[in-house]
């Protein structure tokens, strides 16, 4: 579960009401009041199209579920990205600019998040979340999916691990889990309701939501906040303001299921894998032993917050692309240098 900051005072800089005081001696003109400044462009929203190539809605057959995805790239394996609780697929926007140069990337809005629409927005059970991911992959790629590298941040990391552990995705070629460890996550659950309730709940404008995310410490990269935060809030007509899109406080019954047994499932996944962490001293006992046995690669990224892919997107993208290169993951699976594939007949 992501580390959410305590509520920070979001003081708006309102101009003082006086009109320059009484005019002083004979005939002096009052100083001209400066014009009201428009909202600072520093926190203005940015459009997804500068980062991804396309967006699309994936309708799941025989259901009312429609999942929103952002895609980029034309060649290589598919880097399939799953965001954390309260985030959206645009959490990977900045990283997509670099990843799409050497691979394809798909970032999905999970249920109850972003622009996705589902029959039950509050059913964030691990079973439903895994089912959603597999349904989207099936709908997008049919029975012959390309090589898939699953990437998951926080809650999305637990979904990625559980999907991999099901062993029903034959083209799964790699697993990258971003800043989630079972022991740390389980220990933090008792504090999550307080953290969620203490964060700022209402925003007069999207710009204020972006500003809060940066000044409150959720994100450290202003450009990423400008592209990703607008998709994490929605306008509430009754309250006449913006509120958080994901109703996480109402999903507490599912939190434990995200993380219980996560370390063993991660270690048992029969594909190359990386655990990408934002700090040290985060491994629990099972992962410590697994790392000593060489069962996975651990990468520490310092000087960043919880959302590594947003705070240092170029560094994150480099880790992903190096992982693909080192494990020789091609568009259809493992590519062995020197082994020529049969040429496809020309139709």
179 in catalytic set: yes
Across the chain, where does the E strand assignment appear?
A: 54-59, 66-72, 78-82, 104-108, 148-153, 172-178, 202-203, 233-236, 241-244, 273-277, 297-300, 329-330, 333-334
Strands in 233-236's sheet, in edge-to-edge order, are 202-203, 241-244, 233-236
First to last CA, the chain: 50
Contact 274, 177 (CB under 8 A): yes
Q: Which residue among 88, 116, 128, 154 is the active-site one?
A: 154
Determine the Cα–Cα distance for residues 61 and 114; give it in Å rounded to an integer: 20
The active-site residue out of 68, 83, 244, 306 is 306
Given the residues 128, 179, 231, 244, the one annotated as active site: 179
Taking the C-alpha atoms of residue 289 and residue 283, their distance in angstroms, rounded to an integer, is 9
Task: Report yes or no: 175 and 164 within 8 Å, Cβ to Cβ.
Answer: yes
Separation between Cα atoms, residue 312 and residue 123, nearest integer Å: 31
Q: Which residue has the tokens 């598919």?
A: 78
Active-site residues: which are they?
Answer: 154, 179, 306
């Amino acid at each position: 579960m992501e580390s959410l900051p305590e509520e920070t005072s979001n003081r708006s800089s309102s101009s003082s009401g006086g009109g320059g005081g009484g005019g002083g001696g004979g005939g002096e003109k009052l100083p001209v009041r400066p014009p009201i400044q428009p909202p600072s462009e520093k926190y203005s929203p940015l459009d997804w199209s500068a980062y991804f190539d396309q967006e699309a809605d994936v309708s799941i057959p025989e259901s009312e579920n429609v999942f929103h995805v952002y895609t980029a790239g034309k060649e290589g394996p598919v880097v399939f990205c799953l965001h954390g609780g309260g985030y959206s697929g645009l959490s990977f926007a900045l990283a997509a600019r670099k990843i799409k140069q050497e691979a394809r990337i798909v970032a999905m809005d999970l249920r109850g998040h972003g622009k996705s629409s589902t029959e039950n927005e509050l059913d964030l059970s691990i079973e439903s979340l895994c089912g959603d991911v597999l349904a989207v992959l099936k709908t997008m790629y049919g029975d012959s999916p390309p090589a898939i590298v699953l990437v998951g941040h926080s809650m999305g990391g637990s979904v990625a691990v559980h999907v991999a552990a099901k062993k029903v995705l034959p083209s799964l070629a790699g697993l990258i889990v971003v800043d989630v460890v079972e022991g740390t996550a389980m220990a933090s659950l008792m504090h999550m309701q307080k953290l969620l309730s203490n964060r700022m709940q209402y925003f007069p404008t999207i710009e204020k939501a972006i500003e809060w995310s940066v000044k409150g410490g959720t994100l450290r990269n202003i450009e990423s906040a400008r592209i990703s935060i607008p998709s994490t809030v929605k306008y509430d007509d009754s309250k006449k303001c913006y509120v958080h899109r994901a109703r996480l406080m109402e999903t507490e019954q599912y939190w434990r299921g995200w993380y219980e047994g996560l370390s063993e499932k991660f270690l048992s996944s029969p594909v190359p894998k990386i655990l990408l962490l934002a700090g040290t001293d985060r491994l629990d006992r099972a992962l410590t032993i697994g790392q000593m046995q060489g069962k996975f690669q651990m990468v520490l990224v310092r000087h960043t917050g919880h959302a590594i892919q947003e705070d240092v997107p170029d560094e994150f993208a480099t880790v992903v692309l190096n992982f693909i290169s080192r494990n020789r993951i091609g568009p259809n699976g493992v590519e062995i240098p020197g082994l020529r594939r049969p040429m496809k007949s020309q139709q």
